[in-house]
Chain A
Amino acid sequence: MIDKLRNRFSLPLLARDLTQQAGRRSMYILRTILIIGMIAWVWLATNSVNNLGGRTASSLQSLGSGRWLFQDLVGTLFIGIYILVPILSCGSIAQEKENDSLQLLLLTRLGPWAILLEKYLSRVLPMLLYLFCALPIFAYLYSLGGITEQQIFASFYLLVLAILQLNAICLFCSAASGKTINALVLSLFVMLFFYVAPAFLLSLIETLFSGLLSWRWTNFLNTVSWFTIPPVLNSLADENYLAQYTPLPFAQTPSLQLVLASTPIWISIVIFLVLARVILLRKAINKSRNWLYVFFEKLDGIFNEWNEDMGGGIVLIKERNDLPEYEPIAWKETRKSAIGTARYLFRMLVVLELPILLLCLVLISEGSRNSTIFYFFSILMICIAMLILVNKSTGLITQERMQQTLDVVLTTPVNGRDIILQKSRGVRKLWIIVMIPVLTVIISKMLIITSSAQFAYLTFACAFTLTTTWLGIWLSIFIGLRQKRHIYAVTTTLSILGIWCVSFWLLRLLFVFGLSPDDLQIARLISPLEVLRMIDGLAFNDLNLEFYSNSTILGYLVYTALATCLIRYSCLKQADQLSGRISDSSQDLKPTPPRLSLTKEEKPLHA
């Protein structure tokens, strides 16, 4: 009886996934980094608290310091969750598809919901475990004062919700994709769309068609769009803003306010889980296809139809059906790769550029009050461009490795440096295409700012975009050369770029613990997001900031360009070695002599 019950309620998939994850080397490294990070954080926090009032200060002076330390800790935990969850969770279902084991699972007694929920829990539980590791630090900060139990509860609750929500999004994307890499890229796009698009669209509607929606509706939609984002809800709860959004019967109880305010998050979790369930069976048997390719294929059909109907089948760019002359790899990348041909690149440009151009024209007609929207718009476009470029650049070598075509190419006399340079041609074309919408946004903003700031803004913004994306491309190629799987290369590159972007906030944590404001100002040049903010500041012609900003931005451009040159040099220098063959510039290599004699037992038979 007990055995029957145990069998009925056993969770084999969950148990297997948890065991597998626990045994992975990367998980050991992650756990070690996490624990070292926490110990370092507590040590630095203690140090800063001790220094608060100087040597003579009494311990009473440090009371209340827990509040800002707590806010920084929660902020860091949110960043960690948003970086780690997509990386750890996007492969949950897609990996089963890659191994052809999902169909086998569906043939067992496990139903689709059981598979989904066990997969969901297998990703949620380890993340919750990492979160629980932070609880002793919460307790320590509580002892310093300045925070209430309510604030600790609210932050912890919202951190848990962030884990649940992100995992639901990743599970949906994983169920919709045939490959882990596609799931990762899709989940990043869905996250971007889900978190940014509603608020962005609402502010756009407000700007363009003021009065279209009543004040009540605008307010309601705004509230819902912000309340689906756990970190935003956390900062609102922290500042006690929730009461004004809560119906009267609950307004007196902060816990109830928070639970009620988090309803959109719970609804979004349920929606994504249901979507995952709906799509799981549909995509279980279908062979994986590149969704971007499918999208363009569909778009191709529509364009062809329009062209036939309206233009009588005009061909602007004739697809050249030529053969490689002396650079076969470049030919393959630009003629035979899925998104390498001029036709597809042009279509991609149309898809990206047309809506942006229209939007920019409308915003320009509205005047300078839209300059803030342009700032977020440019960040969004740079993120999309970077995602596309990272995906393509990391795949240059890893895709060949995974399709097992690399060995054959490596046995040809084409040297490693040429292979990389020829392969990068495809990326260069794509780079130009994705840069056009970004530059459209920059130029549009330039047109609405004061004329005295136009030149500086345009120069710096263009230089920033080009150097940052150039660095992103070569970093991706370098990491792609070192990694065996595309997904690992993309996640590693995105993690490095993500940490680079938030590096200033991480340094700010150090500032809390004693970095001087001058040091911190210099530290701004490390983070691209901060530099972009400074470039945006130039548009307002803030003379106080101008000199300081210019030198910081120039510093950023110089070090980014130098870093890119260094990475590029390293890629080309070690191309043979990293791609997995003997370097053809190894004339100076001294072969190791063979052993002078073999023992009698080792001697082979030679006839």
Chain B
Amino acid sequence: MTDTSSAENPSTEQPIELEFDENSPTPAIEMKGVSHRFKDFNALDGVTFNVPQGALHGFVGPNGAGKTTSLKLICTLLKPQTGMVRVMGKNVLTHVKDVRQIIGFMPDHFSSYRQMTVFEYLDFFGAAYGLAMRRRNEVIDDVLELTDMAGRKQSLIGGLSRGMQQRVSLARVLINDPQLLLLDEPASGLDPRARIELMEILQALQELGKTIFISSHILKELEELCDSVTIIDRGRIKYSGTIEALRHHGHENIAYRIQILNGQSDPIETLLGIHGVVSADKVGNSRAIRITLDDSLLSSNQLLSQLIERNVTITSFEREQRQLNQAFMDLTEQGVR
């Protein structure tokens, strides 16, 4: 495999005024100003984001936001109409074969040959990736072990459950030892157990050094699984970065949630009397109170000591974080386009 950056047309390398860290290692996925249109429908409009190598990156967006189109562009099934897509530094337009060799794509539908056994299916794709015959058996055993399907090697795919078929798909994705895994809705249609097991496998794969780009609607699971996320809506990127940053993003003041002891009098007035507390509100009918601070005037330690000084007995104290689904709702627009 050759490095592509020098071989490419200089005109394609023009800088774009977006926040890329020039010193960071080659991203696993790099999309710059990518637009794509299907007749009258603008599927992607100037999409730009990076996925660092070794990340488990979530890709979320409402239906019709452009997730599958982006994935198809990355895995060489679609040609970008404008902009540039690079995988491990290789342009998908000029290094198609190289890109195909280093990616593993799992579409949102279950696509397997039902008349084949698990082994035949994996051997078929091993051959398609040009894996030497003598090595294939060994590799198949490894991927089946990794996906916990070793006992089903000779089973017909058509006779497997949905969860098992999804594991076979994942094993197929791994057959060529790809550096980048592109998974489109891998957990859709799976029961909770199969879903949790799949997530565990993905975590194991990340530990093996794979970059995993996962498109999903199940935000709760993505939140637990991924370390970074890209939110897309109506063909435009709304957010791209770490989940941690997204949780705090949009909060001008730091928020804490405290739970006061039952039977204690309402401490709202007391709380508002503390210097640095911007607001204190009851959360519904519960005993919880949401406090926002001006962190330049008051730290969390100071807040706690002030509460003790004022005899406010609390049973819990936690920094409030925005959940991914809340961030998703804030960043995306209502309705389907």
Interface residue from B46, B93, B238 paired with A594 (Cβ < 8 Å): B46
Is A332 an interface position by the 8 A CB rule?
Answer: yes
Cα–Cα, bound, A586→B16 (Å): 25
**Contact assessment for B239 and A607 in the assembled complex, using a CB-CB cutoff below 8 Å:** yes
**Contact assessment for A590 and B113 in the assembled complex, using a CB-CB cutoff below 8 Å:** no
Interface residue from B32, B80, B241 paired with A607 (Cβ < 8 Å): B241
Interface 9-residue window, one of A262-270, A410-418, A482-490, A494-502: A410-418
Given contacts A408-B111, A581-B77, A593-B12, contact A605 B240 (CB under 8 A): yes
Is A319 an interface position by the 8 A CB rule?
Answer: no
Interface residue from A328, A581, A603 paired with B124 (Cβ < 8 Å): A328
Contact with A along B84-116 (1 / 0, CB 8 A): 100000011110110011010101011111011
Cα–Cα, bound, A56→B64 (Å): 71
B14 — which chain A residues lie within 8 A by C-beta? 593-594, 596
**Contact assessment for A589 and B93 in the assembled complex, using a CB-CB cutoff below 8 Å:** yes
Cα–Cα, bound, A407→B77 (Å): 7
B107 — which chain A residues lie within 8 A by C-beta? 404, 407-408
Distance between B244 CB and nearest chain A CB, rounded to angstroms: 8
A412 — which chain B residues lie within 8 A by C-beta? 100, 125, 128-129
**Contact assessment for A594 and B120 in the assembled complex, using a CB-CB cutoff below 8 Å:** no
Is B297 an interface position by the 8 A CB rule?
Answer: no
**Contact assessment for A326 and B239 in the assembled complex, using a CB-CB cutoff below 8 Å:** no
A244 — which chain B residues lie within 8 A by C-beta? none
**Contact assessment for B112 and A405 in the assembled complex, using a CB-CB cutoff below 8 Å:** yes
Distance between B161 CB and nearest chain A CB, rounded to angstroms: 18
Is B272 an interface position by the 8 A CB rule?
Answer: no
Is A587 an interface position by the 8 A CB rule?
Answer: yes
Cα–Cα, bound, A415→B128 (Å): 10
Closest to B103 in A: A411
Distance between B64 CB and nearest chain A CB, rounded to angstroms: 18
**Contact assessment for B82 and A328 in the assembled complex, using a CB-CB cutoff below 8 Å:** no
Interface residue from A326, A404, A410 paired with B77 (Cβ < 8 Å): A410
Given contacts A327-B127, A413-B128, contact A594 B101 (CB under 8 A): no
Closest to B114 in A: A403
Is A3 an interface position by the 8 A CB rule?
Answer: no
A594 — which chain B residues lie within 8 A by C-beta? 14, 16, 32-34, 46, 48, 82-84
Given contacts A412-B129, A594-B33, A598-B18, contact A403 B111 (CB under 8 A): yes
Contact with B along A290-322 (1 / 0, CB 8 A): 000000000000000000000000000000000
**Contact assessment for A591 and B97 in the assembled complex, using a CB-CB cutoff below 8 Å:** no
**Contact assessment for B111 and A413 in the assembled complex, using a CB-CB cutoff below 8 Å:** no
Q: Which of A331, A589, A592 gathers the greatest number of chain B CB atoms within 10 Å?
A: A592
**Contact assessment for A411 and B127 in the assembled complex, using a CB-CB cutoff below 8 Å:** no
**Contact assessment for A598 and B46 in the assembled complex, using a CB-CB cutoff below 8 Å:** yes
Is A597 an interface position by the 8 A CB rule?
Answer: yes
A597 — which chain B residues lie within 8 A by C-beta? 16-17
Cα–Cα, bound, A323→B237 (Å): 45
A336 — which chain B residues lie within 8 A by C-beta? 113, 115-116, 120
Is A216 an interface position by the 8 A CB rule?
Answer: no
Residues from 15 to 55 in B contacting A, C-beta threshold 8 Å? 15-19, 32-35, 45-46, 48-49
Interface residue from A413, A604, A606 paired with B97 (Cβ < 8 Å): A413
B128 — which chain A residues lie within 8 A by C-beta? 328-329, 409, 412-414
**Contact assessment for A411 and B16 in the assembled complex, using a CB-CB cutoff below 8 Å:** no
Is A128 an interface position by the 8 A CB rule?
Answer: no
A338 — which chain B residues lie within 8 A by C-beta? 115
Given contacts A328-B127, A329-B128, A590-B9, contact A582 B76 (CB under 8 A): yes
Given contacts A336-B120, A584-B97, A594-B32, contact A413 B127 (CB under 8 A): no
Is B1 an interface position by the 8 A CB rule?
Answer: no
B93 — which chain A residues lie within 8 A by C-beta? 582, 586, 589, 591
Is A519 an interface position by the 8 A CB rule?
Answer: no
Is A246 an interface position by the 8 A CB rule?
Answer: no
Interface residues on B, range: 35 or more
Contact with B along A153-178 (1 / 0, CB 8 A): 00000000000000000000000000
Q: Which of B81, B93, B105, B249 gathers the greatest number of chain A CB atoms within 10 Å?
A: B93
Distance between B238 CB and nearest chain A CB, rounded to angstroms: 6
Contact with A along B118-136 (1 / 0, CB 8 A): 0010011101111001001
**Contact assessment for A591 and B109 in the assembled complex, using a CB-CB cutoff below 8 Å:** no
**Contact assessment for B241 and A586 in the assembled complex, using a CB-CB cutoff below 8 Å:** no
**Contact assessment for B33 and A590 in the assembled complex, using a CB-CB cutoff below 8 Å:** no
**Contact assessment for B111 and A404 in the assembled complex, using a CB-CB cutoff below 8 Å:** yes
Given contacts A404-B107, A598-B46, contact A605 B238 (CB under 8 A): yes
Is B245 an interface position by the 8 A CB rule?
Answer: yes
Cα–Cα, bound, A582→B77 (Å): 6
**Contact assessment for B103 and A590 in the assembled complex, using a CB-CB cutoff below 8 Å:** no
**Contact assessment for A592 and B105 in the assembled complex, using a CB-CB cutoff below 8 Å:** no
Is B298 an interface position by the 8 A CB rule?
Answer: no
Interface residue from B8, B33, B240 paired with A595 (Cβ < 8 Å): B33
Given contacts A404-B107, A591-B94, A607-B241, contact A324 B16 (CB under 8 A): no
B325 — which chain A residues lie within 8 A by C-beta? none
Distance between A296 CB and nearest chain B CB, rounded to angstroms: 14
Given contacts A328-B125, A332-B124, A591-B84, contact A596 B240 (CB under 8 A): no
**Contact assessment for B240 and A606 in the assembled complex, using a CB-CB cutoff below 8 Å:** yes
Is B78 an interface position by the 8 A CB rule?
Answer: yes
A584 — which chain B residues lie within 8 A by C-beta? 96-97, 100
Closest to B236 in A: A602
B130 — which chain A residues lie within 8 A by C-beta? 326, 413
Closest to B130 in A: A413
B96 — which chain A residues lie within 8 A by C-beta? 582-584, 586
Is B79 an interface position by the 8 A CB rule?
Answer: yes
Distance between A327 CB and nearest chain B CB, rounded to angstroms: 7
Distance between A338 CB and nearest chain B CB, rounded to angstroms: 8
Is A580 an interface position by the 8 A CB rule?
Answer: yes
**Contact assessment for B76 and A604 in the assembled complex, using a CB-CB cutoff below 8 Å:** no
Cα–Cα, bound, A607→B113 (Å): 42
Closest to B76 in A: A582
Residues from 376 to 406 in A contacting B, C-beta threshold 8 Å? 403-406
Is B5 an interface position by the 8 A CB rule?
Answer: no
Cα–Cα, bound, A431→B105 (Å): 35
B326 — which chain A residues lie within 8 A by C-beta? none
Distance between A293 CB and nearest chain B CB, rounded to angstroms: 11
A595 — which chain B residues lie within 8 A by C-beta? 16, 33, 35, 46, 82-83
Cα–Cα, bound, A66→B249 (Å): 84
Cα–Cα, bound, A407→B184 (Å): 12
Is A239 an interface position by the 8 A CB rule?
Answer: no
**Contact assessment for B17 and A604 in the assembled complex, using a CB-CB cutoff below 8 Å:** no
Cα–Cα, bound, A325→B132 (Å): 8
Cα–Cα, bound, A581→B103 (Å): 15
| Interface pairs A-B: 6 shortest CB-CB | A594-B33, A607-B241, A607-B245, A604-B237, A328-B127, A594-B83
Q: Residues of B at under 8 Å CB distance from A?
A: 8-9, 11-12, 14-19, 32-35, 45-46, 48-49, 72, 75-84, 91-94, 96-97, 100-101, 103, 105, 107, 109-113, 115-116, 120, 123-125, 127-130, 133, 136, 172, 236-242, 245-246, 249
9 residue pairs A–B, Cβ–Cβ below 8 Å: A323-B127, A404-B110, A410-B76, A413-B97, A582-B92, A591-B91, A598-B48, A604-B238, A607-B246
Q: Residues of A at under 8 Å CB distance from B?
A: 323-329, 331-332, 336, 338, 403-415, 580-584, 586-587, 589-598, 602-607
Q: A324-B127, A582-B76 are in contact. List 16 more A-B contacts (CB 8 A).
A: A328-B127, A405-B112, A407-B72, A407-B107, A411-B75, A413-B100, A582-B93, A586-B94, A591-B9, A591-B94, A594-B14, A594-B32, A596-B14, A598-B46, A602-B236, A605-B241
